[in-house]
Amino acid sequence: METLNFRFNSKPAPPAADPALCGVVGSGNLEILIRPGDAPGVCQVRIKTSARGFGEIWQAVVGAFAADHLAGGTMVEINDMGATPAVVSLRLAQVLAEYRGGVQ
């Protein structure tokens, strides 16, 4: 397992009362937990992945998500079992929508 930690500037997400969880830890998939973070304009991301050596790809995919969405003030935790960048992007959008009460 490899653990990656990133911080991205992002416009603040509307506050949410409860954390949100999306996805399943399984081959080719991942689960994502999102909860309030400690910095309003920062999206903090911790990734635990079975696929070692893909830090630059993770940084690009999650960085694009933080730039394109209101994700500031959140802490995102990802448990990955070899998901493709497309699956990662889909799950990130899903968990953020759930966190925001179903609003994208």
Q: What is the pLDDT along the chain (104 residues), one digit of tens a residue?
A: 899 999 999 999 887 878 999 988 877 889 999 999 998 899 999 999 988 999 999 999 999 999 999 999 999 999 999 999 999 999 999 999 999 886 55
Residues 4 and 39: their CA atoms lie apart, in Å, by 19
Residues 60 and 56: their CA atoms lie apart, in Å, by 6
Task: Record the pTM.
Answer: 0.91
- For the chain, list the domains and their CATH numbers: 2-99 (3.30.230)
User: Which tokens belong to 98?
Assistant: 């759930």
**DSSP character at residue 27:** T
